[in-house]
Amino acid sequence: MAGTGIAFGSVELNNFITVASGPLTDAASKIEAAEKAGAGAASLKLTFVDVPFQSEMRSYSMPGSVILSPTNRRLDLKKAIEITRQIRRITGMKLFANYSALGSRLDEWKLLSEKLDEAGADLLEPNFCCPNLDTSEVTSTTKHDHGGASIGENPEVCAEIVRAIREVSGLPIVPKIITADRRTLIEVARTVEDCGAAGIHVVGTPTSGLPPVAENGRPEIPLLDGAPQGSTNGPLCKYTSYLYAAILARSISIPIMISGGLESWKDCVDVISWGATAPSICSAFMWYGYEILDSINEGIQDFMDRNGFASIADFRGRSLRYFTTPDRVRLRRGVAVVDDEACINCGRCLRPAHCEAVSRADDRVAIDAELCIGCGVCGSLCPVGAISYREEEEH
């Protein structure tokens, strides 16, 4: 591969996919395995000067849907420095240093930045996104005494931290944020861009939740007493990831990394088409292993070759022309159509309770064109792809 076209400041990533900060990146051996599998970069597990609370991974996991983790392992600065130095000795992987502190502790942000820079990190990824980090009193109304995702809700605090980091390090700064409010997202992104950030990493929502419960009422997370809100990851978040990519692509000019729910080459192409610069993945590797990296990298490259794209930049944002407001959307008239030869007569398309157009007679599925509104549901239910949609001329 000649080049990915994915760069933050002066640092170009070695391949298309970055392994997001998480259980996959808390040891040099794991990051070495990611590089051998074809990852282009990795984000070190979240680091503190001193880890503020007991932490080890406990999760509610539903493969293909969500991993909900109310607690996870964190690194202290001493351990993170050791791992970073090991990574520099054994790999050529581009490394993001992911780290955090309370918003008021600029001295800790500076110390973390300086020491991880010295240890060999390539990029700095201050964490303004984790919903599990804020240990402040819930009654606190200050902007500065909070941590994690609460920082990302306050553009002023984000700006102070980015400026403080720039005082001690010349590495590209790529703040990692999460917010459920698009206006806050835009304001924070523009603020860190104005302060000199080389990019921004945004995580798709929902940000957090609680697990289901067993019959006895206990939360369905093994080996855990107590259930604080947990961060959510997995395909549940994918569609917000697309939305955030589009919103930011229209709002800022610095590169945009997106994570949250991406697990296939098509997901990665989609998020780039909506405006992302770089995709980042975690939960899919936790479920399926690094074996899927080959198919992701090959799928992206095959897509680019089929369409004559030399780099990610050639198709980045190509779908933004379709991103609009409801008052500008035009509904095209059309109906669902059944391919009788492909149909296996399973009856799934008959189930939608809202639909009056689909019926079955003489062991054949029929669609009443007068009643069909072209909603798109029956086609998604068909296991053999026998239903398509035909546009009709307006009368």
Chain-centroid distance, C-alpha 210 = 19
Query: pLDDT value at position 145?
Result: 64
Provide the phi-psi class of 120: left if phi over 0, else alpha when psi is between -120 and 50, else beta.
Answer: left
Q: 263 and 235 in contact (C-beta within 8 Å)? A: yes
- Half-sphere exposure (CA, 13 Å, Cβ side) for 120? 16
Same structural domain, 216 and 343 = no
| 143 — pLDDT class (breaks 50, 70, 90) | low
Identify the domain boundary among 322, 339, 370. 322
Query: pLDDT value at position 37?
Result: 96
Phi and psi at residue 380, to the nearest 5°: -70, -20
Least reliable range by pLDDT among 70-74, 178-182, 381-385:
70-74
Query: pLDDT value at position 266?
Result: 98
Residue of 29 and 138 predicted with greater confidence:
29
Residue of 215 and 57 predicted with greater confidence:
215
Q: Which two tokens stand for residue 254?
A: 């610095």
Q: Amino acid identity of 38? A: G
Contacts by 288-293 with C-beta closer than 8 Å and gap 24+? 288/263, 290/33, 290/34, 290/37, 290/38, 290/39, 291/37, 292/263, 292/264, 293/17, 293/34, 293/37, 293/38, 293/39
Same structural domain, 162 and 202 = yes
Q: 2 and 82 in contact (C-beta within 8 Å)? A: no
Q: 315 and 272 in contact (C-beta within 8 Å)? A: yes
Angle at 202 between CA 198 and CA 205, to 5 degrees: 175
**Total residue count of the chain as it appears in this document:** 395
> Mean of the pLDDT values across residues 181-203?
96
Query: pLDDT value at position 135?
Result: 54
Least reliable range by pLDDT among 3-7, 51-55, 365-369, 373-377:
51-55
Chain-centroid distance, C-alpha 157 = 23
Query: pLDDT value at position 3?
Result: 60
Q: Residue 1 falls within a domain, yes or no?
A: no
Least reliable range by pLDDT among 67-71, 186-190, 327-331:
67-71
| 4 — pLDDT class (breaks 50, 70, 90) | confident
- Half-sphere exposure (CA, 13 Å, Cβ side) for 266? 2
Same structural domain, 258 and 372 = no
Q: Residue 22 falls within a domain, yes or no?
A: yes
Residue 395 has pLDDT above 60, yes or no: no
Query: pLDDT value at position 387?
Result: 96
Same structural domain, 334 and 317 = no
Query: pLDDT value at position 1?
Result: 45
Identify the domain boundary among 304, 322, 340. 322
Identify the domain boundary among 322, 343, 367. 322
| 141 — pLDDT class (breaks 50, 70, 90) | low
Same structural domain, 334 and 268 = no
Query: pLDDT value at position 121?
Result: 98
Q: What is the mean pLDDT of the chain?
A: 90
pLDDT digits (tens, 9 = 90+) for 296-344: 999 999 999 999 999 999 999 999 999 999 899 988 889 999 999 999 9
> Mean of the pLDDT values across residues 282-287?
94
Residue 20 has pLDDT above 70, yes or no: yes
Same structural domain, 177 and 161 = yes
Range(s) of the domain holding residue 227: 7-322
Same structural domain, 313 and 334 = no
How many domains does one find in the chain? 2
Coil, strand or helix: which one is 176?
A: strand
Q: 39 and 205 in contact (C-beta within 8 Å)? A: no
> For the domain that residue 365 is a member of, what is the CATH number?
3.30.70.20
> For the domain that residue 162 is a member of, what is the CATH number?
3.20.20.70
Residue 262 has pLDDT above 60, yes or no: yes
Same structural domain, 138 and 218 = yes
Q: Residue 169 falls within a domain, yes or no?
A: yes
Same structural domain, 364 and 313 = no
Bridge-based pairing of strands 94-99 and 75-76 is unpaired
Strands (DSSP E) found in the chain:
7-8, 11-12, 18-19, 41-43, 47-48, 58-62, 66-71, 75-76, 94-99, 123-128, 176-177, 200-203, 208-209, 230-233, 256-259, 278-281, 334-338, 358-361, 364-367, 387-391
Q: Which two tokens stand for residue 326?
A: 């409801």
Same structural domain, 220 and 267 = yes
Q: Residue 2 falls within a domain, yes or no?
A: no
Same structural domain, 234 and 114 = yes
Q: Which two tokens stand for residue 299?
A: 């799928």
Helix or strand run (H / E) with residue 3: none
Residue of 142 and 151 predicted with greater confidence:
151
Same structural domain, 259 and 185 = yes
Residue spans of alpha helices (H) in the chain: 28-37, 77-90, 106-119, 155-168, 182-194, 238-249, 265-273, 283-288, 291-307, 377-381
Q: Which two tokens stand for residue 322?
A: 């379709």
pLDDT digits (tens, 9 = 90+) for 195-238: 999 999 999 887 678 888 888 988 888 887 877 666 778 888 99
Angle at 311 between CA 306 and CA 316, to 5 degrees: 90
- Give the other-Cβ count within 10 Å of 140's Cβ: 12
> Mean of the pLDDT values across residues 71-79?
87
| 144 — pLDDT class (breaks 50, 70, 90) | low
End-to-end CA distance of the chain: 52
Whether the upstream peptide bond of residue 70 has omega within 30° of 0, thus cis, is: no
Residue 140 has pLDDT above 50, yes or no: yes
